[in-house]
A and B are shown apart, each in its own frame.
Chain A
Amino acid sequence: MTAAQAAKSTEAPMIQLKKLNKWYGEFHVLKDIDFECRRGQKIVVCGPSGSGKSTMIRCINRLEEHQKGDLIVDGIELTNDLKNIEAIRREVGMVFQHFNLFPHLTVLENLTLAPIWVRKVPKKEAEETAMFFLNRVRIPEQANKYPGQLSGGQQQRVAIARSLCMKPKIMLFDEPTSALDPEMVKEVLDTMVSLAREGMTMICVTHEMGFAKAVADKVVFMDKGEIVEANEPEAFFSNPQNERTKLFLSQILNH
């Protein structure tokens, strides 16, 4: 990449959704979504269940297909072109609610598989990278175990490390702590906070408002397939504008 190109890509948003629409049959899940995420930004997306927030971030790496509107990721327009889809997926890491580790592979194999086969990294180098990131999520000693032998929190940290091994430019988190026992939520959030501090571009669907307050540059509230309100965390929590936002915040913050 030349310097001119690099400069250009820092100007343009990393992710751009323009009038994005999606239907499940008759059901209109995403309605005219306009959304932007710049390099280094950390955006938290929240909203009641069924509001379309997961669907929205799953459109970004084409786990869901949108029917109308434009979606541009890192300068690549997402269309039905398989080449573009694969190119985008290489640059976008995703962490799932249910971890989705590969149970038949060891932790180390989970981490090295995609770098070796997708990025064509030599095995030895991939393993070094994997160990580096396992150290970062503080479970290097589990490298040769199978996912089924780890706790939920450990599995989610492995899943984060697995995404990081691909050296993604953007990380998507789809309710990463929702399936965890309460005592394990913190270890995963800590990992995400330190990732945010290092400057990773992150879009995070979560109900962890503490996390939003600590690291988010912007909080987006969605309801019924629409973006209702988007603001900086401080303003968002202290002075919500929309009635639906107020209701939602009162429901999740008051206990």
Chain B
Amino acid sequence: MANGHSTAIGGPSSGGLMDSKAAQWVRANFFSSWWNTALSLVLLYIVGKTLIWFLGWGVFNAVWYGPAADCRAAKGIGACWAVFPEKWRFILFATYPYDEQWRPALSCVIFFALYVYSALRVNWNGRLPLVWIVGLLAIAFLMWGGTFGLSFVPQERWGGLVLTLILSTFGIALAFPLAILLALGRRSHMPAIKTLCVVYIELIRGVPLISLLFMASVMFPLFLPEGITIDKLLRAQIAIIGFAGAYLAEVVRGGLQALPKGQYEAADALGLSYWQATRMIILPQALRMVIPPMVNTFIGLFKDTSLVLIIGLLDILNAAKTAVSDPAWRGFGPDVYFGVSLIYFVFCFAMSKYSQQVEHELNRDRHR
């Protein structure tokens, strides 16, 4: 299979196609023995078969546009992408008033802008929190409205991508400091603080997120004094922050423990206070050590926001599920989920790639 493009590299004396570098590489890596050759061929067959099936289903036989009837005709043979041109507004914005959907769309754009802005290290300065506050205020204003000619949209009608972004952005942004405090508290010498943190971490980490969401939505209001209500989205948000915080705390603690004792001692010996040492010596080193498991938790949190469907919030996954409950499009769930999965994948993959880059840059001082 390598013969087709190997002619160009052939050495002057060899002449034969099999002596080119590409051919040598292929032979060394795939056909070095009978066993390897057999394995390569079997794998090639499986991969090829899968790819051909996938291209047939997802591209050549897929229905890209048209009414549900076309999809029904192609069922089992080709994917039904036609559901997206039909339903994309509902999937992305859910029950937000149709004519006002530019507002969540713009909110998503602001979120993206904030992500990109924060990702650039030149912007890691005192202005960053300010930019976030302005961005979030703009999003709040757009989503709620009620002033400057924008109609008021209650939170019950928010949904789709923007809801997923709200839940995961606040989730990560607030779970992170919570986790740091919990991890520090768990290592504290003060028994009360230590016990409190241990109990919190073990308790929250030991129950499923779903049950926390349930408790937040059903039980929590029972404890509030009469007349005070906290809306469902905020309750779900608190549950997610609390849950992710407990998980993340153990990751951070891992970093704190991995740091050599000498670093703590040197900071102490120089007369730095606990918080000075923590902020300038301990955390910068501990956190960069745990970037991989930390991002692991962030990615998990991002996907876990989809569990809010059990308390009836329409995040992007639940919106997609609701979209295909339309009788006309019933039965095309897998196709829709596939499309929405791609959106999740793009976000998670971006996080993963970005974290690798940050890790590399922050560890520059380790390179000689």
Contact A104 B276 (CB under 8 A): no
* Nearest CB in chain A: distance from B282 CB, A: 10
Residues 76 to 126 of chain A near chain B (Cβ within 8 Å): 86, 89-90, 92-94, 96, 98-104, 113-114, 117-118
Residues of A within 8 A of B266 (CB): 94, 96, 100-102
Residue of B nearest to A63 (CB): B265
* Nearest CB in chain A: distance from B126 CB, A: 16
Contact B262 A100 (CB under 8 A): yes
**What 0/1 readout, one digit per residue, does chain A (9-44) give for beta carbons within 8 Å of chain B?**
000000000000000000000000000000000000
Taking A86-B271, A148-B366, A162-B270 as contacts, is the C-beta distance between A104 and B285 under 8 angstroms?
A: yes
Contact A114 B272 (CB under 8 A): yes
Say yes or no for B326: interface residue by CB 8 A criterion: no
* Nearest CB in chain A: distance from B124 CB, A: 15
Residues of B within 8 A of A163 (CB): 269-270
The residue that B268 contacts in the complex, of A63, A102, A146, A162, with Cβ under 8 A, is: A63
Say yes or no for A216: interface residue by CB 8 A criterion: no
Contact A148 B368 (CB under 8 A): yes
Contact B268 A103 (CB under 8 A): no
* Nearest CB in chain B: distance from A73 CB, A: 13
Inter-chain CA distance A103–B363, complex, in Å, is 10
Contact B270 A149 (CB under 8 A): no
Interface residues on A, range: 20 to 34
Say yes or no for B288: interface residue by CB 8 A criterion: yes
Instruction: Please indicate which of the listed interface residues A61, A62, A117 has the most CB atoms of chain B within 10 Å of its own CB.
Output: A117
Say yes or no for B263: interface residue by CB 8 A criterion: yes
Say yes or no for B273: interface residue by CB 8 A criterion: yes
Residue of B nearest to A87 (CB): B271
* Nearest CB in chain B: distance from A204 CB, A: 15
The residue that A100 contacts in the complex, of B265, B271, B273, with Cβ under 8 A, is: B265
Interface residues on B, range: 20 to 34
**What 0/1 readout, one digit per residue, does chain B (37-79) give for beta carbons within 8 Å of chain A?**
0000000000000000000000000000000000000000000
Residues of A within 8 A of B365 (CB): 103-104, 146-149
Residues of A within 8 A of B281 (CB): 102
Say yes or no for B218: interface residue by CB 8 A criterion: no
Contact A86 B273 (CB under 8 A): yes
**What 0/1 readout, one digit per residue, does chain A (158-184) give for beta carbons within 8 Å of chain B?**
000011001000000000000000000
Residues of A within 8 A of B368 (CB): 148-149
Residue of B nearest to A102 (CB): B281
* Nearest CB in chain B: distance from A99 CB, A: 8
Residue of A nearest to B276 (CB): A117
* Nearest CB in chain B: distance from A91 CB, A: 9
**What 0/1 readout, one digit per residue, does chain B (225-269) give for beta carbons within 8 Å of chain A?**
000000000000000000000000000000000001011011011
Inter-chain CA distance A96–B268, complex, in Å, is 12
**What 0/1 readout, one digit per residue, does chain A (125-151) give for beta carbons within 8 Å of chain B?**
000000000000000000000111100
Say yes or no for B196: interface residue by CB 8 A criterion: no
Contact B269 A117 (CB under 8 A): no
Contact B263 A100 (CB under 8 A): yes
* Nearest CB in chain A: distance from B325 CB, A: 53
Contact B262 A98 (CB under 8 A): yes
Contact B265 A96 (CB under 8 A): yes
Contact A104 B284 (CB under 8 A): yes
Residues 153 to 168 of chain B near chain A (Cβ within 8 Å): none
Inter-chain CA distance A86–B275, complex, in Å, is 13
Inter-chain CA distance A102–B285, complex, in Å, is 9
Instruction: Please indicate which of the listed interface residues B269, B284, B366, B368 has the most CB atoms of chain A within 10 Å of its own CB.
Output: B269
Taking A100-B262, A104-B365 as contacts, is the C-beta distance between A114 and B270 under 8 angstroms?
A: yes
Inter-chain CA distance A89–B274, complex, in Å, is 13
* Nearest CB in chain A: distance from B84 CB, A: 47
Taking A113-B280, A148-B366, A148-B368 as contacts, is the C-beta distance between A89 and B262 under 8 angstroms?
A: no
Inter-chain CA distance A99–B269, complex, in Å, is 12
Inter-chain CA distance A21–B276, complex, in Å, is 31
* Chain B residues proximal to chain A, CB less than 8 Å: 260, 262-263, 265-266, 268-273, 276, 280-281, 284-285, 288, 365-366, 368
A-B CB contact pairs (8 Å), 18 listed: A61-B269, A63-B265, A63-B268, A86-B271, A89-B270, A90-B271, A94-B266, A98-B260, A100-B265, A102-B266, A104-B284, A113-B280, A114-B272, A117-B280, A118-B276, A148-B365, A148-B366, A148-B368
* Chain A residues proximal to chain B, CB less than 8 Å: 61-63, 86, 89-90, 92-94, 96, 98-104, 113-114, 117-118, 146-149, 162-163, 166
